[in-house]
Structure 1
Amino acid sequence: MFGRHENVSTLTAELAEVDAQISAHPLASRRIRAAQAEVASSESRDAAEIDGELAADGLPSVEELGRAHVSGTWSWWKLHRRKRRHEKRIERAAR
């Protein structure tokens, strides 16, 4: 048979490590998630009003939120890609 046989327990440990990295990522932080939810649920579309709502709740401003997205999107995508790849490898190895 061609290819290598992978140990499910090793792959599961690697997946757990990737999940930990995702949890520790800045885009997964409680403050960023709460600010995203606040912006999404805001009826006002004026940035100054949204900034005021965010500041009242002690959350990052719209500008800070944008900077976090710009700086973190690439690494966030790569981590989730690794996670999907590990999940597929575990599924194949378990067969």
Structure 2
Amino acid sequence: MARANRSALEAELKEIDAAIADHPYNAPEVVASREIIEQFEGEGNERVEQELAARGLPGLADNGRIVATGLASYSRLHRRRKKVLNKLERLSN
């Protein structure tokens, strides 16, 4: 029974990892935007917007929208992943 349960959990983990990779919050342009925003922190929104536009990345408003609409589901996926990992760890002990 534990082997079947382990297989099911591993399949679920693989599914969760794929959903995290495909999540809009994890899109390459969004990740690059967050890096630029962090890099130019303290230089003002106008400077950040210029840098984002120069690189063809979503602006601050678009990033805010992505965070507002996607962060909750992204967090749920990570919590679900952690639960599955904890169950797998308990099966190993």
Superposition TM-score, scaled by structure 1 size: 0.89
Q: Distance in 2 between matches of 1:48 and 1:64?
A: 14
Aligned to 1:34, the other structure's residue is in SS state helix
Corresponding residue to 1:68 among 58, 66, 72:
66
Percent identity over the alignment is: 34
Residue number in structure 1 paired with 2:20: 22
Alignment of 1:34 with 2:32, yes or no, is yes
Q: CA deviation at 1:18?
A: 0.2
Give unmatched runs, 5+ long, in structure 1: none
Residue 84 of structure 1, aligned match among 66, 82, 85: 82
Give 2:53's aligned residue. Answer: 55
Q: How many residues align?
A: 92
Calculate the aligned-residue CA RMSD, in Å: 1.5
* 8 Å contact from structure 2 (residues 40, 47) kept in 1: no
Instruction: In structure 2, list runs of 5 or more residues that go unmatched.
Output: none
The TM-score with structure 2 as length reference comes to 0.91
Partners of 1:75 and 1:29 in 2: CA distance: 14
**Greater share of residues in helix:** 2
Deviation at 1:46, TM superposition (A): 1.4
Cα distance in structure 2, aligned partners of 1:73 and 1:45: 25
**What whole-Å deviation, never above 9, does each CA across 1:39-86 have from its counterpart, x for those lacking one?**
001155311111111000000000000100000111011000000000
